């Protein structure tokens, strides 16, 4: 299935880019604060970024890859991280649905950025 992972590719193309995740780390869409909901360019960056499942840190750039991982494996990875961080593991399924929905609509090799619910392709690497 197609999934999104963190990438350094195209970092710096936007002045407000940041990259605090590990390369190739699985990402999902984290919680968005009110400031970012009002204007993602002026907030903390959560409305412009993807959250790393492993580090819990964020990146403004992610890429679509084809993975051998199953949905169940992905969900249990996210669930384990939620439990570790003291969040409600029940939200893991929704977090996985959301990011897989996004990945499914993008081509493999796409370098993706985000502004709240809008996802755009910066570059397509084949
Ligand atoms: Zn924020």
Element (H, E) at 37: helix 34-38
- Tell me: the pLDDT tens digits for 27-59? 999 989 999 999 999 999 999 999 999 999 999
**In the prediction, which pLDDT does 40 show?**
94
Bridge partners, 59 (sequence order):
19, 50
**In the prediction, which pLDDT does 126 show?**
79
Domain limits of the chain? 2-124
End-to-end Cα, the chain, rounded Å: 17
- Tell me: the pLDDT tens digits for 76-109? 999 999 999 999 999 999 999 999 999 999 999 9
CA of 70 to the centre of ligand 1 (A): 30
CA of 35 to the centre of ligand 1 (A): 6
Q: Are 97 and 114 in contact (CB under 8 A)?
A: no
CA of 56 to the centre of ligand 1 (A): 14
Separation between Cα atoms, residue 69 and residue 80, nearest integer Å: 16
Closest CA to 27 of 1, 60, 66: 60
């Amino acid at each position: 299935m197609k999934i999104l992972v963190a990438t350094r590719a195209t970092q710096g193309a936007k002045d407000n880019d940041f990259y605090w995740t590990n390369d190739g780390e699985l990402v999902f869409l984290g919680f968005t604060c009110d400031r970012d909901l009002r204007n993602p360019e002026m907030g903390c960056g959560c409305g412009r970024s993807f959250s790393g499942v492993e580090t819990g840190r964020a990146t403004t750039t992610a890429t679509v890859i084809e993975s051998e991982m199953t949905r169940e494996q992905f969900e249990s990875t996210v669930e384990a991280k939620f439990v570790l961080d003291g969040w409600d593991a029940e939200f893991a399924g929704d977090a996985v649905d959301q990011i897989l929905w996004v990945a499914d609509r993008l081509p493999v090799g796409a370098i993706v950025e985000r502004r709240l619910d809008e996802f755009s392709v910066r570059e397509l690497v084949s």
